[in-house]
Amino acid sequence: MKMSSVSIESTTSGPYIRTAIDDLPPYSAGRSVRDAAGEGAAARTLLGLAANEGPYGPFPAATAAAAKQIENANLYPESGFRSLRRELAEFLGVDVARVAVGAGGIGLIHHLSVALLDEGSNIVTCTPTFHAYALDARKQGATTRTTPVRADGSYDLAAMLELIDERTRIVYVCNPNNPTGGIVGRQELLDFIDAVPASTTVVVDEAYFEYARSAGYPDTIADAAFARPNVVTLRTFSKAYGLAGLRVAYLVGSEALIGAVQKVQSNYEVTSVALAAARASLPDTEELARRIELNADGRRRLVEALDRLGFEPLEPHANFLYLRPGDGKAFAKALEAEGIIVRPANAMGDPSGVRITVGSPDQVTETIEALTRMVNASS
Ligand SMILES: Cc1ncc(COP(=O)(O)O)c(C=O)c1O
């Protein structure tokens, strides 16, 4: 029997693809030791400090829980991620209906974009910043309006207010900001939220919350003043908890926003192994505090060394430092020649800057030695 073909005149030879994603660049990840080895660098020992990963691996309890859970990998993860959501709610002192869990902060930013951004709408951010916001906006056919960060690398909230219009669906506040490390304070953030229209969602991205310890840095989950219908906070297990490879993060916000994210996310997107590791990590506040202390110490040593070498890094508040040597790519290339891979900030909107992750104490020593060699080689 002959099948009758559907008679639609096709003007192209392939499948229909939304024009919104024409020319969409792929997510640009920090260069890894694996990437360098693939280019033949295997003979040298390289240290990867380009992705702001925690340097210590998972917490011991998380490793044990993940190993045990993998024995049940034939079973689907818990539907709705209820146990981790309940334990996070308890840990954070909020109602469980205000908590969503997803496959990394990147996954949750994607879901917020799908849930909130129509074709022709816009988002407001600062530059340079985490580039997933603008990429995900583009996928939805939305545009990005942006203004430079302040001199200290923090989001310029006053300038952002000027960019908001009736089509603005999301304003991001990356706090501390990646890659510059600057922070906005509690009162200015509250004043900003007061001034944002009720129909615009404020996403406070606190991927580096655990590392930020300055007085005045807001805790937008514990502080009830931030519990507003149009505010949501993002945190992740990828950084201070050392679980970047397992992909698990969470949002805390109004029930309306959390419900919207849960509608668009896929049911089993966080694996059972990731859920087990995250649940085992949460109670170990001592291990978290130990790692935060080590980071603060390494950060201080790196600032001193960079100052001594004449680079004037911005004041850091997370697990990385930011400097503007003029040509971020050239700086990264020269430092890689000394064995350290760091992240030029061009993909995040600042070709003049470079970001260096704070490693373990030994890695900090290695970084300082490599920086010193690099400077000596060029003088
Ligand atoms: C500011 C910021 N937000 C979110 C993320 C997403 O992290 P993940 O998807 O690993 O949870 C990152 C990762 O580097 C980040 O820097």
Q: What is d(CA 327, CA 331) in angstroms, rounded to the nearest whole number? A: 6
Q: Where are the domains of the chain?
A: 26-56+285-378, 60-281
pLDDT by residue, tens only, the chain of 379 residues = 555 555 555 556 888 989 888 888 888 788 888 888 777 665 468 999 999 999 999 999 999 999 999 999 999 999 999 999 999 999 999 999 999 999 999 999 999 999 999 999 999 999 999 999 999 999 999 999 999 999 999 999 999 999 999 999 999 999 999 999 999 999 999 999 999 999 999 999 999 999 998 999 999 999 999 999 999 999 999 999 999 999 999 999 999 999 999 999 999 999 999 999 999 999 999 999 999 999 999 999 999 999 999 999 999 999 999 999 999 999 999 999 999 999 999 989 999 999 999 999 999 999 999 999 999 998 7
Q: Could you tell me if the CB of 104 is within 6 A of ligand 1?
A: yes
Axis crossing angle, helix 104-116 with helix 255-264, rounded to the nearest 10: 100
The pLDDT, as a whole number, for residue 73 is 97
Ligand 1 pocket test target in 32, 205, 241 with most atoms within 8 Å of CB: 205
- Which atom of ligand 1 has the smallest separation from the CA of 129? 1
Ligand 1 pocket test target in 32, 111, 113, 236 with most atoms within 8 Å of CB: 236
CB neighbourhood size of 60 (10 A): 12
Our CA dihedral for 20, 26, 29, 33, rounded to 10 degrees, sits at: 180
Strands (E), the chain: 47-48, 99-102, 122-127, 143-148, 168-174, 201-205, 231-236, 249-253, 320-323, 340-341, 343-344, 354-357
Q: Both tokens of residue 301? A: 């040593």
Domain 26-56+285-378 has CATH 3.90.1150.10: yes
Question: Phi/psi class of residue 93: alpha, beta or left (left: φ > 0; alpha: ψ in -120 to 50)?
Answer: left
Q: Could you tell me if the CB of 249 is within 6 A of ligand 1?
A: yes
Q: Could you tell me if the CB of 233 is within 6 A of ligand 1?
A: no
Distance 83 CA to ligand 1 centre (A): 23
Domain 60-281 has CATH 3.40.640.10: yes
Q: Could you tell me if the CB of 238 is within 6 A of ligand 1?
A: yes
Q: What is d(CA 50, CA 48) in angstroms, rounded to the nearest whole number? A: 6
Q: Is there a contact between 318 and 342 (Cβ–Cβ < 8 Å)?
A: no
Q: Is there a contact between 322 and 176 (Cβ–Cβ < 8 Å)?
A: no
